[in-house]
Amino acid sequence: MSIPIVAIIGRPNVGKSSLFNRIIGRRQAIVSEVAGTTRDRLMADAWWDDYHFILLDTGGLESHPEGVIRQLVQEQAEMAVADADVIILMTDVVDG
């Protein structure tokens, strides 16, 4: 049986990297108030109640990414979604 993949996705700066670090129990992802800090998919082994899975942190999804870098970030997030067995969709409680 393969190890399931869980991807955290959402708009830029909604706390995806903070959740990623919290679940894996260490600071692997850089956390910043500056939107666009995470650009590549980050991957880590994770355990929850003795259940092992691979956790993916992604850059922010945008409806219309502008510029080459934002488009590449979008493509990385879309690849994470395609690879995932489970998706955690994070939203901002104020902005949605």
Ranges of each domain in the chain: 5-90
Taking the model in full, what pTM does it have?
0.82
- Tens digits of residue pLDDT in 30-59: 666 665 555 567 899 999 999 999 999 988
For domain 5-90, is the CATH number 3.30.1490.20?
A: no
Q: In what order do the strands lie in the sheet with 51-57?
A: 42-48, 51-57, 5-10, 86-90
Cα 85 off chain centre by: 14
Beta carbons of 38 and 29 less than 8 angstroms apart = yes
Helix (H, G, I), strand (E, B) or coil at 70: helix
For residue 14, give the nearest of 43, 37, 46, 48 by alpha carbon. 37
Other C-beta atoms closer than 10 Å to the C-beta of 1 total 3
